[in-house]
Amino acid sequence: MYRAIFKRILDFIISFCLIFLLSPFLILTSIILIFQNKGTPIFLQTRPGKNQKAFKIIKFKTMTDQRNEQGEMLPDHQRITSLGKIIRKLSIDELPQLINVLKGEMSLVGPRPLLFKYIPLFSEEQLRRHEVRPGITGWAQVNGRNSISWTKKFQLDVEYVDNLSLALDLKILYQTVLKVIKKEGINQQEDRPMQPFNGKN
């Protein structure tokens, strides 16, 4: 019952309340980023959701669009702005995803939505991470995030799918809040960026 009905109801109620309570802060952050980025404060990207259905993930834009001489986008850690570093350090960049949760595209808790280019690299077992809605935070995020391998992350994602419950979601949310407060293991290190998934790592 929780997986099929109550999880979505709780997602809607909590995301609606958080958006309402945080709206002044979200608006202020958007205005600051408009000046910082000389344009849009929002970053949109197509990601695979539940059952690999495409949706546009919403985040605060923390990086420039700088490219090298070949026209290729520079690595993330070279494009992030000074303000972007602060926003990421405090995990503020993830807050607009509450809109994705409200719309039913994401959940508060679930496997993080990655890029479509990784889909062909997943094993059948790893693809099971798409059996549930992706989340703002997840079991892998509170168990190491960028300090563990992709393989371990996907093992934890599937473990979450198999053991999804209200108790587990509450545990993950509680641990996420603690890690954000302690600034522990939430964002990738500037000097140790996470390497792209290649189907093996």
The partner residues of 129 in beta bridges, in order of sequence, read none
Q: What is the pLDDT of residues 53-78, one digit of tens each?
A: 999 999 999 888 888 888 788 887 78
Measured CA to CA, the distance from residue 72 to residue 138 in angstroms comes to 31
Residue 35 lies inside a defined structural domain of this protein: yes
**Which range marks the domain in which residue 56 is found?**
2-182
Is residue 188 in a domain?
Answer: no
Instruction: Give the chain's domain count.
Output: 1
Q: Looking at residue 201, what is its pLDDT?
A: 65
Q: Which residue(s) pair with 38 in the sheet?
A: none
Instruction: Look at residue 193 and tell me if it is in a domain.
Output: no
- 3-class state of residue 104 by DSSP: coil
Output helix, strand, coil percentages for the chain, rounded to the nearest 5: 55, 15, 30
- Choose the weakest-confidence range: 32-36, 171-175, 189-193: 189-193
Q: Give tens-digit pLDDT for 120-161.
A: 999 999 999 999 999 999 999 999 877 788 999 999 999 999
Type of residue numbered 121: L
Token look-up 């409200």 returns 102
Does the residue 61 lie in any domain? Answer: yes
In a domain, 10, yes or no: yes
Residue 150 belongs to some domain of the structure: yes
Query: For position 191, what pLDDT does the model report?
Result: 46
- Indicate whether 200 belongs to any domain: no
Average pLDDT estimate for 168-187: 83
Does residue 199 carry a pLDDT above 80? no
